[in-house]
Structure 1
């Protein structure tokens, strides 16, 4: 089945360079507010191991869907107003986490995201106005405002799906390595070819690897960042002689080289770590599952 024709213009938002001036201005504001780093990590979902925005969005979306159903039933005005109020309050952390993830995306993701945010936050304003109207006894106006807001939430949700599933914002971009890399031990190359405390890219079984030699210790990670697939070798190595050395990717994620764990977001999934051994003069690698 082909994609519906009337949806194609929406999917082309990622190429809409006309949005770039707005994206740049908003990005500057959001970036200035993302301090301290620990707060940004929490908002990305680093402690949870995956983005928290999709989960938090369920609360306002769920309450507003419930309110829309109740608005079609007689005698449910108080319950509907309560649900709308809960959704308005719950939308605040959803909006905040959404902007944090958006600020660390690529430009084509940010173009779609800025429209996604505009739709959802316009809906938030309409729902807040709906709650006020209902509180003042203007139920008809309140219902009209909330139904328009409900339509905007649906539109914003469609764009959110495009961001998450077609553009893969927030997804683990390295997970496929686990399925592609063959079982067993594979030769990476001679030990003497690896420079001391200087990361290099090597390819094994068609997969790019990040390799760091520190004396007799060899640390090997997938060279594909879990955030947006950027190369770890193109990043910055910090404290290479330290056991807790880290690599900072071009897009700002920080990984512990020894464990692959996320030190700082925007990545939420750990880097894929390989087991390395020295067999004679050769370095061999394997996924820990083998």
Structure 2
């Protein structure tokens, strides 16, 4: 039953009007590129949102336990205050990631965000009730908030694992590259200082030659599998980067490091060597 509901939610085009409007507002208010990168988790090496949600979720769950322990409600109120105060940062990071997702993921993400917003409102109401001396009401509102947050967490898990939102979309391609050294072409056929696309089996690889050395990365972008081979190259030498033509994620060609988001994961790299003038690649 749950799977059927989620499948219908993924296809619920009725949500697209609100989703598209909110996506536009988030992108308008996202601020400088440095702020966007920080919220995406580019500096962290994976999305920031799952890290930040641990604070409010942990605080809310712990508060519910303390609410039913002798003399625990004061501590529970402190934890709820911590959870409410930390929630906006987690929401900002989540919205930034969500704004760069595909339509089917944004539909699920929209309901996920709505459930968490309802949960936050219930916890704020719980704090107000506790502050006015209505402790039983405060506990009830907190339990309702935990239920809404639990529903939101379930949808977030579906978005992350079933729909691969925030996952490294290029990582599975590594297993399709042979473990043994495989030729991809001659060194002389590669332009010096510019990326070039070659295939290993049916996996597109982006090669970057600098003199007699060559680096190789999976050509499909780790964010949403955009064709990096069609992207613009910026910089030169060891600082040369390729920009994904779909969403603008920027990766350093020599080591796959993500320089700008929305990608938060580095681009998977392959081992390379040059033997008798031929370039060979293999799994890491």
Task: Report if TM-score (shorter chain) is over 0.5.
Answer: yes
Cα separation, 2, equivalents of 1:214 and 1:228:
28
* 1:1-290 correspondence to structure 2 within 5 Å: 5-191=1-187, 193-195=189-191, 199-213=195-209, 216-239=212-235, 241-249=236-244, 250-287=246-283, 289=284
- Unpaired segments ≥5 residues, structure 1: none
Cα separation, 1, equivalents of 2:271 and 2:214:
9
Cα separation, 1, equivalents of 2:7 and 2:64:
27
Mean CA deviation greater in 155-164 or 202-211: 202-211
TM-score, with normalisation over the residues of structure 2? 0.90
Q: What's the CA shift string for 1:85-111, capped at 9, x where partnerless?
A: 111111121111111111121221111
Query: Does the Cα contact within 8 Å between 1:11 and 1:162 map onto a contact in 2?
Result: no
Mean CA deviation greater in 159-168 or 244-253: 244-253
Cα separation, 1, equivalents of 2:127 and 2:257:
44
**SS in structure 2 of the partner of residue 9 of structure 1:** helix
Structure 1 consecutive aligned stretches of length 4 or more whose deviation exceeds 6 Å: none
Cα separation, 1, equivalents of 2:222 and 2:132:
50
Cα separation, 1, equivalents of 2:7 and 2:156:
11
Aligned residues: 283
**SS in structure 2 of the partner of residue 51 of structure 1:** coil
TM-score, with normalisation over the residues of structure 1? 0.89
